[in-house]
Structure 1
């Protein structure tokens, strides 16, 4: 009578491991293979000699990438694919295994398991193939034993080669000890293992494991530093590489401003808004003008500029000089008529946006409604986005980000304080990946992470250290403008001022201090 393994009263892991202990080779067919799940079996096949007497693992991967590649190798295209192409395809499929290693926190047990798997594949004790002819969901475990009465034992059911599949509930499997049935399963496996579109990925898996965190080779700290820098700069590099500065502005922009334009344009394009928050004197107006012109040339947009009354004339000068298709509107004229009389502009620049940090104000409500009605992309200009509280920042972001929109990150420090994501949701009843969630946090680190997604901000010190040239004679840094002149950064040296007073006079204010 066959045994039923439901992973409740009887675990498949128990029966399979007991059979493997007295086996000299094995054949497994699974729909999905978790590399870390190999930990359950690794010590029970280590006694296999290798070569013919090995563990053959047949995997029918079902993720989207593999389905696309399977179509490329489908029987309909037999004869249309050459060996080099097949080699490229199998390498691409094998790389999907590397994604598994990016999930979760690595443990010592995981590291030991993956190193053991690499060794066993290298020693030919384990061979891994991918079946590409058609979707394969079968789960079969065959154990070959030196037993005259029962040389072949099989297990058939629903369990994949994962920790959960072999040891947790929700599965149903039976063992096959009747030899005629077991031999038929063996023939079924052999036919698929030898199929033309069953490709060996053993070498590719070894390479993936050698290049992963489970590698026995020590990675120099400098390489780790470079990888961190690479990922941290991903946003900036994408912006600089994909957005071209308008020709009319190239002669007037300094290198640090050009980079700011490219990064800001990416934020605006991908997230619907950006805060340009360079300190006073670094050219926020030029940067915003260039971004608006870039969108005008790339996406055929027009721009509405909302600014304080005293700088309307300045903005009109920029619009004229750089031939910007734009209208300048004083914020003092933003009233009820504004919504009805102002046509749609797909890009809106709001200068001195910190004036709209109070979402209870009437002008705030009118501007926000206009932006929502017209689905405008928003460029906010302010050197002081933060005044009294962090909601000064979130209120400006709310102009173009709905409060309950999933923004992809959460206030990790605050969520850790309340006990975790589940506790946060239970307490506040909304997603932690929202502006609403960030408004609960008083951790500056949370707000810094949020602003990385939406803000471009550089200080004079940053410009001096990364873009300026040092004059050894004057011992000062300078920037060279396009007209050839050099502008030097002043050295700020505090002056000492002495105030005379009688230290014995208890009524003197300085004595009291």
Structure 2
């Protein structure tokens, strides 16, 4: 059997860690950063071994750049112990409040990991200085032929490091293992306690329970949040005459639900730079979209199926609606010719708004 683990098609680090956890009494992990990403993949193996102790020494923090998690290893020489711990807690909060953890599986698992923390079976310390090393040391049960096994290499304790991406790790069970354990123990003894002091442990638990995606909310709190978001969407008032006037000038009835939708959409666009109109068939989404475009006072382009473009006399389709709402400088292009539409946008710097009709055709 090869001592190298590269996350190839037949062998990955997760599989090997699961095997070793099943027959270990203690785990000593030195990792770049730790935010439950990788350990949640070890949930089944840890759950089956009710006696194993997990010591995790964390060398780095994480930050978010362009919505991605990245390692952050700034010098901490001028920081106090509390500063280092607070930075780590903030790092942990950022990472858990990401899309990776927003799923039913993790919500179910986190209760188990919190119990590990409470029972002192999951012990976390933070290095005083940034450390990028990855070391997985297994102290095996007495019934095993070997007493210690070490895995070291490039893999962090994350899903990509354990399974998804190409890595290079080596498993060692003889020469150098005592020296590696001594290195870990020395670093462990000089690191800052995170979960072994009750004040910090409670602070960590409070962050997990109340400042992350796993926070439990009551049905009433959920209702209030939805109601708040709904009311905030009416911040833009359409009591002026402009929209009513353009509706009436084209013999459109300014229905209240359409005016409400226009106001909500403009409010959402102001906050998020885009909006989805998802009314059912027949409620006038095209009219609402044109009214929104009229209120934005910007030039744009409509991308729609070829059958909805309309004719050159502007008697039907999008060409008619753009004319009705005085969007004379707007363009209509076929969704079947996206490259041509993109070329047009690239050649005209004044195109600021894009309307995509039948947008469900573009879903993944």
Structure 2 counterpart of 1:278: 239
Structure 1 counterpart of 2:316: none
Q: 2: CA distance between counterparts of 1:197 and 1:70?
A: 16
Structure 2 counterpart of 1:74: 76
1:235 and 1:150, CA in 2 relative to 1: closer, same or farther beyond 3 A? Answer: same
Structure 2 counterpart of 1:13: 14
Which consecutive residues of structure 2, in runs of 5 or more, have no partner in the other structure? 251-283, 303-333, 343-351
Task: Give the C-alpha shift of residue 42 in structure 1.
Answer: 2.5
Check conservation: 1:353, 1:396, Cα contact below 8 A: no
Tell me, yes or no, if structure 1 residue 106 matches structure 2 residue 103.
Answer: yes
Check conservation: 2:55, 2:122, Cα contact below 8 A: yes
Bigger radius of gyration among the two: 1
Q: 2: CA distance between counterparts of 1:427 and 1:387?
A: 23
5 Å-filtered alignment, 1:432-511, equals: 435-436=353-354, 438-441=355-358
Q: 2: CA distance between counterparts of 1:208 and 1:354?
A: 52
Q: 2: CA distance between counterparts of 1:194 and 1:169?
A: 32
Task: Give the C-alpha shift of residue 155 in structure 1.
Answer: 0.9
Q: 1: CA distance between counterparts of 2:358 and 2:141?
A: 65
1:129 and 1:203, CA in 2 relative to 1: closer, same or farther beyond 3 A? Answer: farther
* Larger relative contact order, structure 1 or 2 (CA cutoff 8 Å, min sep 6): 2
Check conservation: 1:30, 1:58, Cα contact below 8 A: yes
Q: Deviations over 1:110-164 (max 9, x none)?
A: 2222121111111111112333522x33222110114586322111122222233
Check conservation: 1:155, 1:176, Cα contact below 8 A: yes
Q: 1: CA distance between counterparts of 2:114 and 2:178?
A: 30
Tell me, yes or no, if structure 1 residue 170 matches structure 2 residue 176.
Answer: no
Q: 2: CA distance between counterparts of 1:155 and 1:235?
A: 53
Q: 2: CA distance between counterparts of 1:398 and 1:186?
A: 64
5 Å-filtered alignment, 1:344-355, equals: none
5 Å-filtered alignment, 1:325-336, equals: none
Q: Deviations over 1:261-292 (max 9, x none)?
A: xx56xxxxxxxxxxx52155xxx9xxxxxxxx
Check conservation: 1:192, 1:198, Cα contact below 8 A: no
Structure 2 counterpart of 1:206: 205
Which consecutive residues of structure 1, in runs of 5 or more, have no partner in the other structure? 237-262, 265-275, 285-349, 358-385, 405-423, 444-513
Q: 1:389 aligns with which of 287, 299, 315?
A: 287
Task: Give the C-alpha shift of residue 233 in structure 1.
Answer: 5.4
TM-score scaled by structure 1? Answer: 0.44
Check conservation: 2:57, 2:127, Cα contact below 8 A: yes
Q: 2:179 aligns with which of 175, 179, 184?
A: 184
5 Å-filtered alignment, 1:353-364, equals: none
SS in 1 for 2:61: coil
1:191 and 1:227, CA in 2 relative to 1: closer, same or farther beyond 3 A? Answer: farther
Q: 1: CA distance between counterparts of 2:176 and 2:336?
A: 53
5 Å-filtered alignment, 1:90-489, equals: 90-100=88-98, 102-103=99-100, 105-107=102-104, 109-134=105-130, 136-147=131-142, 150-178=146-174, 180-196=175-191, 199-200=194-195, 202-211=201-210, 214=214, 219-232=217-230, 277-278=238-239, 389-390=287-288, 392-393=290-291, 395-396=293-294, 399-400=297-298, 428=338, 435-436=353-354, 438-441=355-358
1:32 and 1:82, CA in 2 relative to 1: closer, same or farther beyond 3 A? Answer: closer
Q: Deviations over 1:373-428 (max 9, x none)?
A: xxxxxxxxxxxxx9983453254256336659xxxxxxxxxxxxxxxxxxx99974
Check conservation: 1:132, 1:198, Cα contact below 8 A: no
Check conservation: 1:133, 1:198, Cα contact below 8 A: no
Q: Deviations over 1:163-184 (max 9, x none)?
A: 3322234222111112x41122
Task: Give the C-alpha shift of residue 48 in structure 1.
Answer: 4.9
Task: Give the C-alpha shift of residue 18 in structure 1.
Answer: 1.3
